[in-house]
Amino acid sequence: MLTVKQLQHVVAIKKAGSIQAATELACISQSALTRSLMSLEDNLGVVLFERHKTGVIPTPFCNTIIEQCQQVLHGLDDIKHNADIYRKLEEGELKIGIGRAISGLVCQNILPIFVAAYPKVKLSIIEGTPEELTLRLQQREFDFIIAGFGSYANIEQIKVSRLKSIPLSIIVNNDHPVNKLETVTWQDLLPYSLIGATKLSLSNPLYQLFEKLTKASPSLPSVMCSDYQALKNIVLTSNAWLIAPAPIFEREIVDKELTEINLSVKEMAIDLSVIELSKRQRSPMAEKFISLCEEYFCRESETRN
């Protein structure tokens, strides 16, 4: 009979690299852990770890099933989570993963409103790359992710709610050489460094253009930093060009502190979306946060139209 604990233990041992080290993760003594592992191996009839005096190393078979073990554990976790939701016990906490490119946009606009409305909620906002955020979502560390949809298109077992399409602007300093041209194309910008908050998603037309021009998988941008104030300073002191959500530097462009370049091609945009695990229900607080986002970005769209 396979048991849940055995799966938890094998995952802990795999993660820790030794039975000794896994005792902390599993909150159990070494001897009990050893026995648990042995009974699992006995049940399966397959050895999962080679024992060495420096620790244990997983057998090839262990590597093939470890992900299945984790999925089973996650499934159990989801059941418990959904029960907690049903009892409304998770109202008071909210963990959100957020994409680098639109982090500031969401934090600066939504957070003040949310905190004003629900001051007692414990809120964690964690910024990261799509890979990091996806992993942590799958590890059930987040209630949901808010990010541009482009980089999440091929992930399984998620559901996506589109909030708003946010146009991306290309921004340079006022004295930039391309400003002297009548019409600017991508090719004119190629000699200069591209900077931005995050990697371009594969669906980005610019990514595909670079791929075609350089005949290789491009590793753009050359400076990647999610602090837009820092990026702005770089633009002001160099001829780098910056891709950023249009609202970020709206004021600077109106004030003519920075220049936005209009390219003669279709616009790029970030599909700002909520990304959730399909098997997990929203907690009441998540529901409120998301509807707040919907309300905010919807209202903003209306005032712009």
Partner DNA sequence: CAGGGTTACGATATTCGTAATTATA
Partner DNA sequence: TATAATTACGAATATCGTAACCCTG
Distance in Å, CB of 66 to its own copies, minimum: 10
| Residue 174: contacted member of DNA, its own copies, none (CB under 5 to 8 Å, by partner type) | none
| Residue 153: contacted member of its own copies, DNA, none (CB under 5 to 8 Å, by partner type) | none
21 binds DNA (CB under 7 A): yes
51 binds DNA (CB under 7 A): yes
Q: How far apart are CA 213 and CA 188, in angstroms?
A: 13
Distance in Å, CB of 73 to its own copies, minimum: 9
Q: How far apart are CA 249 and CA 198, in angstroms?
A: 17
277 binds its own copies (CB under 8 A): no
H or E element that contains 133: helix 130-138
32 binds DNA (CB under 7 A): yes
Contact with DNA (CB under 7 A) among 38, 76, 89, 115: 38
For 65-131, what is the HEC assignment? HHHHHHHHHHHHHHHHHHHHHHCCCCCCEEEEEEECCCHHHHHHHHHHHHHHHCCCCEEEEEEECHH
Are 58 and 15 a contacting pair, CB within 8 Å?
A: no
Q: How far apart are CA 188 and CA 261, in angstroms?
A: 11
Contact with its own copies (CB under 8 A) among 16, 69, 178, 242: 69
Angle at 86 between CA 68 and CA 67, to 5 degrees: 5
- Minimum CB distance to DNA smaller for 40 or for 275: 40
| Closest to 257 in 3D by CA, of 179, 170, 173 | 173
55 binds DNA (CB under 7 A): yes
| Closest to 178 in 3D by CA, of 229, 242, 234, 221 | 242
73 binds DNA (CB under 7 A): no
| Residue 83: contacted member of its own copies, DNA, none (CB under 5 to 8 Å, by partner type) | its own copies
| Residue 32: contacted member of DNA, its own copies, none (CB under 5 to 8 Å, by partner type) | DNA
Q: How far apart are CA 256 and CA 235, in angstroms?
A: 14
Burial-class residue 166 by CB neighbours within 10 Å (0-12, 13-18, 19+): buried
Three-state secondary-structure class, residue 161: strand
| Residue 69: contacted member of its own copies, DNA, none (CB under 5 to 8 Å, by partner type) | its own copies
| Residue 155: contacted member of DNA, its own copies, none (CB under 5 to 8 Å, by partner type) | none
- Minimum CB distance to its own copies smaller for 143 or for 271: 143
Contact with DNA (CB under 7 A) among 28, 62, 197, 246: 28
| Residue 38: contacted member of its own copies, DNA, none (CB under 5 to 8 Å, by partner type) | DNA
Letters for 151-170 (x = contact with its own copies by CB under 8 A, - = none) are --------------------
What crossing angle do the helices spanning 4-16 and 19-26 adopt, rounded to 10°?
Answer: 130
The set of residues, in sequence order, having a beta carbon less than 8 Å from that of 284 and lying 6+ positions away, is 85, 88, 90, 91
39 binds DNA (CB under 7 A): yes
- Contacts with DNA by CB under 7 A lie at 3, 5, 18-21, 27-32, 34-39, 51-56
- Contacts with its own copies by CB under 8 A lie at 1-5, 43-46, 61, 64-65, 68-69, 71-72, 75-76, 78-80, 82-84, 86-87, 89, 279, 281
